[in-house]
Amino acid sequence: MKAIKYGVSVLSVAVGLAVSGLSFAVSAEEPTLSEADFEKAQLQYFQRCAGCHGVLRKGATGKNLEPENTLKKGQKRLEKIIALGTEGGMNNFDDLFSKQEISNLATFIQMTPPVPPEMSLEQMRSHTKEYVAPKDYPAKPMHGRNWKNFFVVIERDAGKAAIIDGDTKEIVTHIDTGYAVHVIKGTEHHAIDHAEDVGRFWYTIGRDGKVNKIDLWQTPDKMLVAETKMAYDARDIAVSGDGKYVIAGGYWPAHFVIMDAVTLNPLKVVSTRGYNTKGEFINEARVAAIYTIPTQSAFMVAVKETGQMWQVDYKDLDNLTVTMVSSAEFLHDGFFDPSGRYFQIAANASNKMVVVDTKERKLESMIEVDTLPHPGPGANWIDKECGPVGGTTHLGTGLVSVWGNDPIGHPDQAWKLCYEVETDGAGAFIRTHETSQYVWADQLKHPEPEIQQSVQVFDKDTHEIVKTIRVTEEEGKAALHMEFNADGTEVWVSVWNRTDAKNPTGEIVVYDAKTLKEKHRIKGLTTPTGKFNVFNRMNHKT
């Protein structure tokens, strides 16, 4: 295999015509790999690096890794960065990759990034499978369990979702899903119209673009009812307010796909390639987050690299209306305010929380926060002075930022920082519940195990940290992501078995939401990550 380098040559003629093309020349300087090593490195890059650096290596959360940058660093320096990480936020990978694999990856990123293929609707449809025919869906739950207190749990590195009974703490089943599922969403209560059996159907999106539909009314062995695939690389999914459509967003190809929520048959695909806020074309304009707007018949689609929030009406797919709200780069993850009108999303490279008014279909505000905001599922609560507030953790610093989010009732506080709470370490997830006095923040991004394994809890009134909870002390494990149970009496925290990711040695630790004391440990889970309590999610308890 020979490596190729592109050189752009520009033609222009007297009449003012200018057209440019790529001329091709084979460079002897570019490093090479055998075809087998190239394909393995390409796969490892895709699984572990592309999320931050992009398939085309243009950079996003991570740095640009195109040859013009990587060739300057050279093989040895690149190997060291991959092995040990950097101060700038790059993880170490010496515990995941062998020395030879690190060497090959360092070479791979000095080569021209291969452009993955496109995916047509027809290709997607070829992956659509029916495991249970809709006519055979049960008319009532086929088990005696309190399914509204089920937790749907991502088992990241197993490519599975666990269904856990929140009342009994039993694992009901493990369901095959796509690879490294990022998010699972269910049908929700909606202001305009919603499905009668709201909360029953759940949809997973794998990093590999695989979509699986789960029916919580089925007997455990039949809960997986349908499947399709809408991209090679994907992150988020949502269900329309009326329960009729599922939408999922692609990292590659850069598009979103609207599917029939019953059969998962892909109906509509829309490209998100476009221009960023500086007016530069972005081929890899990835769909980061997708949410159903609780008060509109529309989806909110966040296009990471273009800094655009697309409000997509789903009432007429053939005449699809999209409002492209320009905000800031790079859009990542967000959550609605309690009224369901305002969507609050992190623009992590701009250190801002972006707020979209979905009623007026326009940018409402941009709030300056700290380095790399990342709210995960987010948290809304009432502050004594500021009124309704929202909060976020940060990937880049140990800080929770809290802002007013009630422009009607508290216009002076709205979209302004109310207060900040310093934590011991940078984190990825924040969570609370309307019945709770406390707000929980994890510290997943801190390099020291002791902090990474602890979550911190602060009081809504005093704004002081009341407890630091060491969730695990086992080597190679980290604590992350909190979710309350249906009545708000428990908080569930994941323990990630990071260095033993192929075995079910992860767990979920259940705490009493009032006493903050440990109640239970649910074992037998592989890298448990996001957890979604049916009742809380169907009722927008954020």
Listed ranges 63-71, 95-103, 324-332, 395-403: which one lies at the site for a second copy (CB under 8 A): 324-332
Is residue 386 among the annotated active site residues? no
Q: Looking at beta carbons only, is 150 or 314 nearer to a second copy? A: 314
User: Which tokens belong to 316?
Assistant: 């007429």
State yes or no: residue 192 binds a second copy (CB under 8 A).
Answer: no
Smallest gap, in angstroms, from Cβ of residue 58 to a second copy? 12
Q: Looking at beta carbons only, is 25 or 139 nearer to a second copy? A: 25
Number of residues that bind a second copy (CB under 8 A): 76
Q: Which of 266, 201, 211 is nearest to 236 (CA)?
A: 211
**Whole-angstrom Cα distance, residue 238 to residue 258?**
10
**Whole-angstrom Cα distance, residue 239 to residue 249?**
12
Task: Please identify which residue in 86, 321, 435, 499 interacts with a second copy, judged by CB under 8 A.
Answer: 321
Among positions 137-176, residues that touch a second copy (CB under 8 A) are 159
The one catalytic residue among 1, 52, 259, 538: 52
Residues 52-81: x/- map of binding to a second copy (CB under 8 A)?
---x--------------------------
Among positions 198-237, residues that touch a second copy (CB under 8 A) are 206-208, 210, 232-233
State yes or no: residue 460 binds a second copy (CB under 8 A).
Answer: no
Query: Token pair 């997708």 is at which residue?
Result: 290
Smallest gap, in angstroms, from Cβ of residue 50 to a second copy? 8
Task: Please identify which residue in 23, 28, 98, 140 interacts with a second copy, judged by CB under 8 A.
Answer: 23
Task: Please identify which residue in 28, 140, 319, 464 interacts with a second copy, judged by CB under 8 A.
Answer: 319
Q: Looking at beta carbons only, is 22 or 192 nearer to a second copy? A: 22
The one catalytic residue among 194, 332, 410, 433: 332
Q: Looking at beta carbons only, is 244 or 361 nearer to a second copy? A: 361
Task: Please identify which residue in 121, 132, 142, 516 interacts with a second copy, judged by CB under 8 A.
Answer: 121
Smallest gap, in angstroms, from Cβ of residue 118 to a second copy? 4
Q: Which of 236, 320, 228 is nearest to 270 (CA)?
A: 320
- Rounded to whole angstroms, what are the CA distances from 194 to 5, 186, 340? 53, 12, 15
Task: Please identify which residue in 99, 100, 115, 448 interacts with a second copy, judged by CB under 8 A.
Answer: 115
Among positions 336-365, residues that touch a second copy (CB under 8 A) are 361-363
Task: Please identify which residue in 31, 47, 242, 459 interacts with a second copy, judged by CB under 8 A.
Answer: 47
Strand partners, 202: 186, 214
Q: b/e per residue, 332-349, with b = 16+ CB within 10 A?
A: bbbbbbbbbbbbbbbbbb
Interstrand relation of 342-347 and 352-357 (parallel, antiparallel or unpaired): antiparallel
Task: Please identify which residue in 13, 28, 139, 408 interacts with a second copy, judged by CB under 8 A.
Answer: 13
Is residue 433 among the annotated active site residues? no
Smallest gap, in angstroms, from Cβ of residue 492 to a second copy? 26
Is residue 52 among the annotated active site residues? yes
Residue 228 · residue 264 · CB < 8 Å = yes
Which 3 state secondary structure label does DSSP give 38? helix
Smallest gap, in angstroms, from Cβ of residue 54 to a second copy? 13
State yes or no: residue 28 binds a second copy (CB under 8 A).
Answer: no
- Rounded to whole angstroms, what are the CA distances from 366 to 26, 328, 347, 369, 416? 47, 9, 9, 9, 9
Q: Looking at beta carbons only, is 40 or 80 nearer to a second copy? A: 40
**Whole-angstrom Cα distance, residue 337 to residue 367?**
14
129-130: strand order across its sheet: 129-130, 224-229, 210-215, 201-205, 183-186
Task: Please identify which residue in 86, 95, 99, 118 interacts with a second copy, judged by CB under 8 A.
Answer: 118
State yes or no: residue 29 binds a second copy (CB under 8 A).
Answer: no
Task: Please identify which residue in 29, 68, 87, 122 interacts with a second copy, judged by CB under 8 A.
Answer: 122
**Whole-angstrom Cα distance, residue 22 to residue 58?**
19
298-303: strand order across its sheet: 287-292, 298-303, 308-313
Q: Looking at beta carbons only, is 117 or 411 nearer to a second copy? A: 117
State yes or no: residue 501 binds a second copy (CB under 8 A).
Answer: no
DSSP state of 222: G
Q: Looking at beta carbons only, is 173 or 228 nearer to a second copy? A: 228
**Whole-angstrom Cα distance, residue 308 to residue 256?**
14
- Rounded to whole angstroms, what are the CA distances from 294 to 38, 111, 522, 539? 45, 45, 32, 10
State yes or no: residue 38 binds a second copy (CB under 8 A).
Answer: yes
The one catalytic residue among 174, 190, 255, 374: 374
Residue 226 · residue 215 · CB < 8 Å = no
Among positions 236-275, residues that touch a second copy (CB under 8 A) are 252-253, 255, 266, 269-271, 273-275
Dump the DSSP string for 239-255.
E-TTSSEEEEEEEES-E
Task: Please identify which residue in 179, 265, 371, 474 interacts with a second copy, judged by CB under 8 A.
Answer: 179
Task: Please identify which residue in 34, 76, 100, 117 interacts with a second copy, judged by CB under 8 A.
Answer: 117
Residue 231 · residue 257 · CB < 8 Å = yes
CB atoms within 10 A of CB 28: 8
Which are the catalytic amino acids? 49, 52-53, 90, 332, 374
